[in-house]
Amino acid sequence: MKILVIVVANLLLFGCAKKHDRTDRICDGKLYVEIYTEWSGMGACYITDSTKFRVKVDRFNFESEFHKYYCKSDSLIIEKWSKDELTPNHFLEKKIFYLTKLIEEGKFDK
pLDDT per position as a tens digit, 61-96: 988 899 999 999 999 999 999 987 887 789 999 999
Q: pTM of the entire structure?
A: 0.76
Confidence of residue 16 (pLDDT cuts 50, 70, 90): low
Mean pLDDT (the chain) is 85
Sign of CA dihedral 48, 74, 44, 28: negative
| Cβ neighbours for 5, distance < 8 A, ≥ 6 positions apart | none
Q: In this structure, are residues 27 and 76 in contact, taking their beta carbons and an 8 Å threshold?
A: yes
| Cβ neighbours for 91, distance < 8 A, ≥ 6 positions apart | 79, 80, 81, 82
Share of the chain above pLDDT 70, in %: 85
CA distance 76 to 26: 10
Distances (CA, A) of 69 to 62, 88, 98: 16, 18, 13
pLDDT of the residue at 7: 47
Q: In this structure, are residues 19 and 7 in contact, taking their beta carbons and an 8 Å threshold?
A: no
